Amino acid sequence: MISFQQVPYLRPDIEALEREMGEKITALENAESFEQAYFALIDLEAPRRRYMTLATLCEARNTMDTNDAFWAEEAAYFDRIKPRWDALCARLGDAMVNSPYRKELEAHLGEEVFRRAKVNSRAFSPDIASDLEEENRLSARYSSLTANLTAELDGKRYTFGELSKMQDESDRASREKFDTLRQQAFSEAAEELDDLYDKLVHVRANMAAKLGFPHFTEMGYCRQGRTSYQRDQVAVFRKEIETAITPVVSALYDQQRERLQYDELWNFDEDISFAGAAPKVREGAIEELFDDIFGSMSPESRVYYQELRRYQFYDLGTRKGKIRGAYSNYVPLYHLPFIFETFDGSPGAVKTFAHECGHGLHSFLKRGEPLIDSGDASSDLCEIHSMAMEFFIWPWLDRLYSEEDIGKYRFFHMKSALSFLPYGAAVDEFQTRVYDEPDLTPAQRLELWKDLERRYMPWRKYKHDGFLAQGRAWQRQTHIYKWPFYYIDYVLAQTCALQFHFMDEENHEKAWDSYMKLLRESGRYSFDETLARAGLESPFTPGVVSRVGQKAMDFLKKKG
């Protein structure tokens, strides 16, 4: 097989695709037996996999360099045609849901595929095609804007990746200096960030109204394919985090302040748990350092990572024009995921690479499914795949760090896992409030975020009256602009990933078998059903968040 760099690209002809898929969907709708329905679905695989491969390739090339004119135009083309693709997917979903052979098809795909198709179709209509195109355009502008943010230092402008490499994490003055530089870079874009989000909120509210939803919040849940819980359960989950986890994390940061002998713990101090240098990854390319980790973890992970490396389906470099962030997207025609990250050598970047490889392992394990829907799953489950992998690499951290730094990394990881829960809950409540009240002004949204920070993250303090102190921290979160209501999935997943970690500490074989079951069965069953089959407790069960949080805190007390 060829490497990722050699994968050819051809702009898809949407008219031809509509004709081809339209005929095949009609065959599914008119099927007179289960066998005819099944092979009608099989016939749809080729055009679907072709389109998805080209869309993934275009996204990868565009995010690798948002300043490349060719790929920017191709990305804009996909943004324009995506509503027509969504219309095809909605029609296909309706045909599957309404098929008289649904029960027989469910034996091959699982009931959840049909439940997800039903809720996804509620969030689409040809009536909102122009709104979807505008939403895509605004989302793309956010990616381009943030990818090209630079800060001036000594008369020269640097990308955020370059700034990270220049910063001395162990020196408080250096942390403050570079934090100020990043905030200044965002401040230069603050007015456009306000305008972009205001337009996104209103275009989404308009779509929801056209489709008969009371708010975009409900439409956003349908987009996420949520079939076993709704906003009321999420609100209760957030409240448990606020009451049970926020006080614990507040105490954790107060202990950190005392340990560091600071009068105040500022936002740029939060990641520094101990005095001295931060964990420093060993010399060598990060993808090479992970060879032995995935080679030792399991037969499945070894084969997966060898294939990923052999064909170089990843891009981890830092450069101007490359978007901030990370993702793993499956490339159907090549049966491999593409791993993307702006790797800067920090502990967070190491954790992120393991995270994306967890996503990739799931898609790799499902690559042999005859129907692509069988390899898909809702994002709440997918984020467990990735966040659990962050912890599963712990036994092999000596491949990445010195003995002294292993302890620092583990403390950093567990602390970030625990402290993330209140932040993630705040993001979700922010979005719920914003879309329930779409006419809030940009200034009112900033005040809303400041109030949420005081409730969920009372430890957070800003030394300077800059970008973050103005209530703008949420504007750095890509998901808020591009994928509304996705973020709570990380919070749910973190609760489950921590369960996997504590299970792994007691019995590795049991934990890994449970993880493999989760990977293989995700998508066939609902969120709650999948967790039960894997032997995990649902985050919505009262007391689960508190128990997991206490175990995490117990670990940190021992290591602190």
Q: Between 190-210 and 403-436, two packed helices, what is the crossing angle to 10 degrees?
A: 60
Helix and strand numbers (H, E) in the chain are: 24, 5
Q: Specify the pLDDT at position 161.
A: 80
Residues sharing a CB contact under 8 Å with residue 284, sequence separation 6 or more, in sequence order: none
- The secondary structure of 137-148, three-state, reads HHHHHHHHHHHC
Alpha-carbon span 290 to 390, nearest angstrom:
12
Q: Is the pLDDT of residue 560 over 80?
A: no
Q: Specify the pLDDT at position 169.
A: 83
Which residues, listed in sequence order, are joined to residue 150 by a DSSP beta bridge? 159
Distances (CA, A) of 364 to 184, 267, 367, 473: 41, 38, 5, 35
Q: Tell me the torsion sign for CA atoms 83, 358, 222, 140.
A: negative
- Give residue-wise pLDDT tens across range 419-465: 999 999 999 999 999 999 999 999 999 999 999 999 999 999 999 99
Residues sharing a CB contact under 8 Å with residue 190, sequence separation 6 or more, in sequence order: 467, 470, 472, 475
Least confident interval from 116-120, 158-162, 296-300: 158-162
Which residues, listed in sequence order, are joined to residue 525 by a DSSP beta bridge? 522
Q: pLDDT band at 278, cuts 50/70/90?
A: confident
One-character DSSP codes across 431-476: HHHHHHSTT--HHHHHHHHHHHHHHH-TT---SSSSTIIIIIGGGG
Residue 508 has φ and ψ, to the nearest 5°, of -60, -45
- Give residue-wise pLDDT tens across range 70-114: 999 999 999 999 999 999 999 999 999 999 999 999 999 999 999
Measured torsion, CA atoms of residues 211, 216, 220, 223, in degrees rounded to the nearest 10: 20
Share of residues in the chain with pLDDT > 70 (%): 100
Q: Specify the pLDDT at position 293.
A: 97
Alpha-carbon span 105 to 524, nearest angstrom:
12
Alpha-carbon span 28 to 94, nearest angstrom:
11
- Give residue-wise pLDDT tens across range 508-549: 999 999 999 999 999 999 999 999 999 999 999 999 999 999
Overall residue count recorded for the chain in this entry? 560
Give the residue carrying structure tokens 């992998």: 389
Which residues, listed in sequence order, are joined to residue 340 by a DSSP beta bridge? 315, 327
Residue 219 · residue 208 · CB < 8 Å: yes
Q: Tell me the torsion sign for CA atoms 437, 438, 439, 444.
A: positive
Residues sharing a CB contact under 8 Å with residue 137, sequence separation 6 or more, in sequence order: 76, 79
Q: Is the pLDDT of residue 56 over 80?
A: yes
Per-chain mean pLDDT for the chain: 95
Mean pLDDT score, 365-379 = 92
Q: Specify the pLDDT at position 321.
A: 87
Give the residue carrying structure tokens 């590795």: 508
- Give residue-wise pLDDT tens across range 167-195: 888 899 999 999 999 999 999 999 999 99
Alpha-carbon span 186 to 196, nearest angstrom:
14
Q: Specify the pLDDT at position 49.
A: 97
Alpha-carbon span 73 to 62, nearest angstrom:
9
**Which among 242, 530, 556 is positioned nearest to 407, based on CA atoms?**
556
Alpha-carbon span 517 to 503, nearest angstrom:
14
The residue ranges of DSSP E strands in 92-225, in sequence order, are: 150-153, 156-159
Q: pLDDT band at 395, cuts 50/70/90?
A: very high
Q: Tell me the torsion sign for CA atoms 403, 405, 408, 412.
A: negative
Q: Is the pLDDT of residue 387 over 70?
A: yes
Query: At 114, is the secondary structure helix, strand, or coil?
Result: helix
- Give residue-wise pLDDT tens across range 328-350: 999 999 999 999 999 988 999 99
Query: At 339, is the secondary structure helix, strand, or coil?
Result: strand
Give the residue carrying structure tokens 């005081």: 454
- Give residue-wise pLDDT tens across range 244-270: 999 999 999 999 999 999 999 999 999
Alpha-carbon span 111 to 525, nearest angstrom:
7
- Give residue-wise pLDDT tens across range 474-485: 999 999 999 999
Residue 53 · residue 334 · CB < 8 Å: yes
Measured torsion, CA atoms of residues 77, 55, 147, 282, in degrees rounded to the nearest 10: -160
Q: Specify the pLDDT at position 274.
A: 84
267: tokens are: 């936002």
Distances (CA, A) of 180 to 156, 161, 318, 528: 16, 15, 21, 43
Element (H, E) at 330: strand 326-331
| Backbone dihedral region for residue 319 (phi beyond 0: left; psi -120 to 50: alpha; all else: beta) | beta
Mean pLDDT score, 279-305 = 96
325: tokens are: 């962030």
Q: Alpha helices, DSSP H only, in 290-330?
A: 291-297, 299-310
Alpha-carbon span 508 to 517, nearest angstrom:
14
Mean pLDDT score, 313-339 = 94
- Give residue-wise pLDDT tens across range 120-145: 999 999 999 999 999 999 999 999 99
Which residues, listed in sequence order, are joined to residue 156 by a DSSP beta bridge? 153
